[in-house]
Structure 1
Amino acid sequence: MPDSTVTTSSDAPHRLRRGIDWLIRWRYALLAVAAVLGVGAWYTGRGLTLDRSIENMFAPDDPILVPYRRLQRTFGEHEVILAMYADEQLDSSEGIERVATLAEQLRAVPGVVAVVSLVDFETTGRTAQFRDVFSGYTHNKQLNAAGVMCLIQRPGVGDVSRRETLARMRSIIRERPQGALVGEPVLIEEAFDLLERDGRRLNTWCTLLVMLTILVCFRSPVWLILPLAVVQLTLALTEATLVLSNLQLSMVSSMLGAIITVVGVASVVHITVHFLDERRAGHDRRTALSNTLEELAAPITVAILTDGAGFAALMVSEVGPVHDFGLMMAIGSLLVLPACILLTPGLMWVSDSMRRESTAPSDGLLVGRWLGQVLAWSERHVFPLAVVTIAISVAAIVG
């Protein structure tokens, strides 16, 4: 059964009070809705991929793309990769047989269009001259290293992605002594792999450090529940929205998770601090939560909208990744608001019921005393601080 309507003495508009009362009354139903949305968004968001195309880093009408596309039309739309390995007996029949075996294995990889190797050139006859021309590609002059030149399809052509093609080629060449893949496509794929890895690492460490800060400041793990839930739900909803909108992550937007973590946690921490102040003032749980939401509904909403507008301003950029980053971050920032609405009433209620202390942490905490001293010092030195701030700003602008 839903709880009875809450009445407070706040000066908030009557309509806002009624809405907050409704949120508190149906807090567990809202948690159920959030859970369903989170699972569905997580399932949908699994299809989000990273755009690994170099062309999409530029505007469609960028002049720099004109010679690049002319190059593709003139010399073909295939990319060149060299699979190389060491072989001290390359000039023997066994060595040539090993080259032939490798060439056949690479030719069978989906996405590989053609291969050129030492096997294609005879030691005598018409093709013998090409053997010297391709020295440094299919073999070295000392004949102790071999290479197989592979032409592969460009991204977006065929049913197999370039990443999958390179992964299969890499698994084959690694079986050879000092085997390695080299070429522009390999460097590009490895660079994007590093971006993805760095994005995940940044998101992980950002979350851990933010949660550690909350744990230190609030001295109870129960206050980690709401920020973690808000961040994860927002990330799931954002990724699902991007997938449904046929958008891909770019090299800039790999930090999406870390920034959403900061925006989401900042909003939730304000709510938590104000709620604890209300509890410390002697209000019961229901009244404290109602007063908190009434007091912070407008400021947090405006702050989130401001974040979204700030990121959306990046969409004026003609650089593809920057434009996409602005759009994705604007979507992610705005989705923090519905995540807070769905999760805050229920999880704040649950967190407060789980804490052991009879009262909220007091302002006597070390960090609280230190911040109070910093504030008092800054109020006593307004003019010097203003002068120093202006000087630093001017120096930064001048460079």
Structure 2
Amino acid sequence: MRGLGRLALRRPRAIVAAFALLSLVLGWGATRLQLDASVLALLPEGDEVTELQAEIGRTFGTDAVMVALVEGEVYTPEAIEALRGLTAALARAPGVTGVTSAANAQRMEDDDGFLLIEDLFPARATPEQIAAARAYLESSPLYRGGLLVAEDGSSANVVIEVDAEHDSEAVVAGIRQALAQEWEARGLGDTYLVGGQLIDGEMRQTLAREMPLLGGAAAALILLMLFLNFRSLRGALLPLLAVTVGLVWSFGVLGWIGEPLSTMSVIAPVAILAVGSSFSLHLLGRFYQELSHGGGKAAAIEKTLAETGLGILISGLAIAAALCTFVLSGMPTVRTLGLLTAGGVLGALIATMLLLPAVLTLLPAPKRAMDPESPGAIRGLLAAVARFVDRRRYAILGVSAALLVLAVFGATRIVPNTAVIDYFNANSPLRTDYARVEAAFGGSSQIQVLVEGDLGDPATLQAMLDFQEAAGRIEGVGPVTSIATILRGIHHTLTGEEGLPTTREGVAQELLIYQLSGDPSQISAFMTLDSRQGLIDIATASASTSVMRRIQNEVEAAAATTLAPLAELSYTGSSLIQLAIEDVLLHDFLISLSLAIVLVIVIDSFVRSVRAALVTILALLFTIALQYGALGYLGLPLDLSTMLLGALAIGVGDYAIHLTVRYMEERRAGQAPEAAMTTTLLSSGRSILFTALTLGAGFAAMIISEFVPIRTLGSLMAFTVLSVGTASLTL
């Protein structure tokens, strides 16, 4: 450590120039950064559910689906013409590959053993023709149940297939423009839109807006805390210099390696600002203390690095190691967060240990240096803490044990929920759209069932129909569609009977009649040409993952008693992908937290005994237990952000290393243990107090986020760093 001090004293301009050049080169990479806030960035790589959905897309030619709901009296000539114009306008919108609505739906009629297929609503339909079309929609097995138009005629659904690779914001903008011009502008009613592209666009816009906003708010709050601590503008600005280096380096490297920013990246600037400034806070605190005791500037820099630099280095390495555990995640968005935060913390650490001493060497010594041990309110508070800890040590341990028991009980009440829809505020326009569409359509998410078997066998098709009817009775399930649905409609048209053909020949004949008369793609969207694979689409509610898991279990139970004995079934869809995300996050949560604990123990043991490192970890684990206990009592879910909470807390909360380093220094100077601890609390205690306040203020900036998980993480991390600071000064 003394070598770093001597290097900064001898080559300050060279160090500053090297940092400036390196920051310029790496910073240029930040201009290459791209945003990927799509739901796809959350998907676990190599997951079977995700791969099965891709296979279904290739086999059946399915695209991503969005659903628009138009409200108003549908069964009028004006509304039908508007719906026809809307359907045509949507078909021309960027990225749209197909549109299905009542305006382009078709009617099947028997024509002496052949199917006559024509438009359900003829051009410029009369009231009588509209009434006849309504009767068909309400009675046909293909459409009844409000599939395209609500049974009371108060709304209509428009199913929009879109290219998943097309820019989501352009897709949504084109669809919204068509809805506004072709329906809302005519005064017919309101419109609502749901779908993955809508969520992708909202997340991208929020990310682009909040990353500078939250970073700026965090910087302002951190600057305020630093000014209150050092009582000078220089003391407040110098830590931001080191943090800026960390930010530029981490974002620049990410740009150069081609990794895009994702949803959770919004956490990174706040975390780097908060954690990185704590390094400079400890270094400058000791530097000003040495100056206040009469030391020269050069001697103060050298002694600061020699004595306090070790604690800063060990703390920084421990934090970076804990954050690096996120890189092991199976989710790209979590890995990106790990790269950003770990790289930013390391950059800020290097800048604190090299650049900051060099800048201090070049700057004139301050006219007045703040002494953390000087009389004042904070010294009085720390002295009171020292006396209280000495006199009430057993009471403190007893209260802590009681709180730990309560926290563990509260943690058992936590319910996981990683549903993407719950990232948005309950009263947000997006959530309102989803609620309205689900109320009318029955679902906005999806479970897909791949059926592999003999689909030419009437028994298999009847079992498929039985399964659909059983699934349709499950709470939270909307329309269920398959080749059996289409075949039932064909059979009803040709024979007037409900049900399906009872022979193989009847199945083949009715399907052939339809293919010769209608659109063969409607068959191929649900069954392969060899009749060996079929697809069942199940619309489900976009609810919490606990509700989705309940629906999944009930769907599989329904299949077990109907279709599963006759065919091999595989499950995927947007609902199950979100469950897969939750499973991966739970796995990552256990791995990152466990590995972070081990790494911090190992790194802390370099400067202290293993026993002392374990004591520090116990204090951190106590605080983490309080975190998750609070989650349970407050009814907050274990989601994408709160699963990262433990490893983040382990990383940023290792304050006790600074107490230990200072305590060891005082003991080497000949002080008795009690006196050494008192001196340590009065000197390093101030830095720990303001570190907790600075970190807490930085993370508190995330409370203004529009993303619910980010907001929750910010409030809990503010609670955590303040709790760890309290535990470090008492336990």
Where on the TM-score scale, by shorter chain, does this alignment land: which range? 0.7 to 0.9
Partner of 2:230: 218
Partner of 1:182: 194
On the 8 A contact 1:174/1:180 being kept in 2, the answer is no
Partner of 1:152: 162
Partner of 1:7: none
Partner of 1:170: 176
> Deviation at 1:100?
4.8
Partner of 2:266: 254
> Aligned match of 1:57 in 42, 48, 73?
42
Q: State the one-letter code of the partner of 2:387.
A: A
> Deviation at 1:369?
2.5
> Deviation at 1:113?
1.8
Q: State the one-letter code of the partner of 1:389.
A: S
Partner of 2:57: 72
State the alpha-carbon separation in 1 of the partners of residues 98 and 376 from structure 2. Answer: 69
Partner of 2:244: 232
> Deviation at 1:268?
0.6
Task: Check 1:21–1:172 CA distance in 2 against 1; reply closer, same or farther (3 A cut).
Answer: farther
SS at match of 1:120: coil
Are residue 109 (structure 1) and residue 113 (structure 2) matched?
Answer: no
On the 8 A contact 1:33/1:342 being kept in 2, the answer is no
Q: State the one-letter code of the partner of 2:404.
A: S
On the 8 A contact 2:8/2:361 being kept in 1, the answer is no
State the alpha-carbon separation in 1 of the partners of residues 237 and 297 from structure 2. Answer: 17
Q: State the one-letter code of the partner of 2:169.
A: R
Larger mean Cα displacement after TM superposition, 362-371 or 208-217: 362-371
Partner of 2:119: 127
Instruction: Deviation per CA, 1:83-110: give whole Å up to 9, x if none.
Output: 44456687335x5554455444433433
Q: State the one-letter code of the partner of 1:376.
A: R
Q: State the one-letter code of the partner of 2:160.
A: C
Question: Which one has the largest radius of gyration?
Answer: 2
Q: TM-score, normalised by structure 2?
A: 0.45
On the 8 A contact 1:34/1:342 being kept in 2, the answer is no
Q: State the one-letter code of the partner of 2:273.
A: T
State the alpha-carbon separation in 1 of the partners of residues 364 and 284 from structure 2. Answer: 10
Q: RCO (CA 8 Å, sep 6+): is it higher in 1 or 2? A: 1
SS at match of 2:98: strand
Partner of 1:381: 392
> Deviation at 1:223?
1.6
Are residue 268 (structure 1) and residue 285 (structure 2) matched?
Answer: no
Instruction: Deviation per CA, 1:225-247: give whole Å up to 9, x if none.
Output: 12222222211211111222232
Instruction: Deviation per CA, 1:165-219: give whole Å up to 9, x if none.
Output: 2244335544552343222432354356556656555434433322221111222
Instruction: Deviation per CA, 1:255-291: give whole Å up to 9, x if none.
Output: 1111111220110101110110011011233332233
Task: Check 1:69–1:372 CA distance in 2 against 1; reply closer, same or farther (3 A cut).
Answer: same
On the 8 A contact 1:315/1:323 being kept in 2, the answer is yes
Q: State the one-letter code of the partner of 1:150.
A: I
Task: Check 1:374–1:171 CA distance in 2 against 1; reply closer, same or farther (3 A cut).
Answer: farther
State the alpha-carbon separation in 1 of the partners of residues 326 and 286 from structure 2. Answer: 33
Gaps of 5+ in 2: 109-116, 121-132, 185-189, 412-731
> Aligned match of 2:351 in 339, 357, 370?
339
> Aligned match of 1:287 in 299, 303, 319?
299
On the 8 A contact 2:38/2:199 being kept in 1, the answer is no
SS at match of 2:308: helix
> Aligned match of 2:312 in 300, 310, 320?
300
Task: Check 1:168–1:352 CA distance in 2 against 1; reply closer, same or farther (3 A cut).
Answer: farther
State the alpha-carbon separation in 2 of the partners of residues 59 and 86 from structure 1. Answer: 37
> Aligned match of 2:378 in 367, 373, 379?
367
Q: What's the C-alpha RMSD, in Å, of the aligned pairs?
A: 3.6
> Aligned match of 1:208 in 197, 200, 220?
220
> Aligned match of 1:396 in 385, 391, 407?
407
On the 8 A contact 1:234/1:336 being kept in 2, the answer is yes
State the alpha-carbon separation in 2 of the partners of residues 264 and 396 from structure 1. Answer: 30
Partner of 1:161: 167
Gaps of 5+ in 1: 1-11
Larger mean Cα displacement after TM superposition, 234-243 or 83-92: 83-92
State the alpha-carbon separation in 2 of the partners of residues 97 and 35 from structure 1. Answer: 65
Instruction: Deviation per CA, 1:299-325: give whole Å up to 9, x if none.
Output: 222221111111223444445544443
SS at match of 1:126: strand
State the alpha-carbon separation in 2 of the partners of residues 23 and 109 from structure 1. Answer: 61
State the alpha-carbon separation in 2 of the partners of residues 296 and 167 from structure 1. Answer: 55
Task: Check 1:120–1:265 CA distance in 2 against 1; reply closer, same or farther (3 A cut).
Answer: same
Task: Check 1:386–1:121 CA distance in 2 against 1; reply closer, same or farther (3 A cut).
Answer: closer
On the 8 A contact 1:218/1:361 being kept in 2, the answer is no
State the alpha-carbon separation in 1 of the partners of residues 57 and 153 from structure 2. Answer: 33
Q: TM-score, normalised by structure 1?
A: 0.78
On the 8 A contact 2:66/2:194 being kept in 1, the answer is yes
On the 8 A contact 2:65/2:195 being kept in 1, the answer is yes
Q: Identity across aligned pairs (percent)? A: 23
Task: Check 1:28–1:253 CA distance in 2 against 1; reply closer, same or farther (3 A cut).
Answer: same
State the alpha-carbon separation in 2 of the partners of residues 272 and 38 from structure 1. Answer: 23
